[in-house]
Amino acid sequence: MNKVFIAISILFLFTSCQKQSKEKEVENEDISAHWSYDGETGPEHWAELEGQTNCDGNFQSPINLVNFKVAENLQPIDLHYSKETILHDVANNGHSIQYDFEAGDFLIHESDTFHLKQFHFHEPAEHLIEGVRYPLEIHLVHQNDSKEFVVLSVMAKEGKNSEPFELLESYLPIKKGETKLIKKPFDISQNLPQHKGYFSYEGSLTTPPCSEEVTWIVFKEAIEVSLEQVELLKYLMPINNYRDEQPHHGRVVRSTSF
Ligand SMILES: [Zn+2]
What is the pLDDT at residue 6?
54
Tell me the domains of the chain and their CATH numbers.
35-255 (3.10.200.10)
139, 123 contact by CB (below 8 A): no
* Alpha-carbon gap, residue 213 to 224, rounded angstroms: 30
* b/e code 218-249 from CB counts within 10 Å (16+ = b): bbbebbebeeebbebbbebbbeebbbebbebe
What is the pLDDT at residue 52?
81
26 has a pLDDT exceeding 80: no
- 245 CA distance to ligand 1 middle (Å): 13
109 is catalytic: no
3-state secondary structure 126-180: CCEECCECCCEEEEEEEECCCCCEEEEEEEEEECCCCHHHHHHHCCCCCCCCCEE
Q: Pick the catalytic residue: 95, 120, 139, 248? A: 95
* Alpha-carbon gap, residue 62 to 94, rounded angstroms: 20
- 137 CA distance to ligand 1 middle (Å): 8
- 62 CA distance to ligand 1 middle (Å): 9
Question: Which residues are near ligand 1, the ion (C-beta closer than 5 Å)?
Answer: 139
Amino acid at site 94 = G
* Alpha-carbon gap, residue 71 to 253, rounded angstroms: 9
What is the pLDDT at residue 50?
73
31 has a pLDDT exceeding 60: no
Q: Nearest CA to 105 among 77, 67, 74?
A: 77
Greatest CA span in the chain, whole angstroms?
76
- 185 CA distance to ligand 1 middle (Å): 23
What is the pLDDT at residue 2?
59
State the DSSP string of 194-236.
SS--EEEEEE--SSTT--S-EEEEEESSPEEE-HHHHHHHHHH
Residue 164 pLDDT class (50, 70, 90 cuts): very high
Residue 23 pLDDT class (50, 70, 90 cuts): very low
- 111 CA distance to ligand 1 middle (Å): 24
220 has a pLDDT exceeding 60: yes
Q: Tens of pLDDT along 46-100?
A: 998 877 899 999 999 999 999 999 999 999 999 999 999 999 999 999 999 999 9
First to last CA, the chain: 76
- 122 CA distance to ligand 1 middle (Å): 6
- 120 CA distance to ligand 1 middle (Å): 6
What is the pLDDT at residue 51?
76
More confident residue, 233 or 4: 233
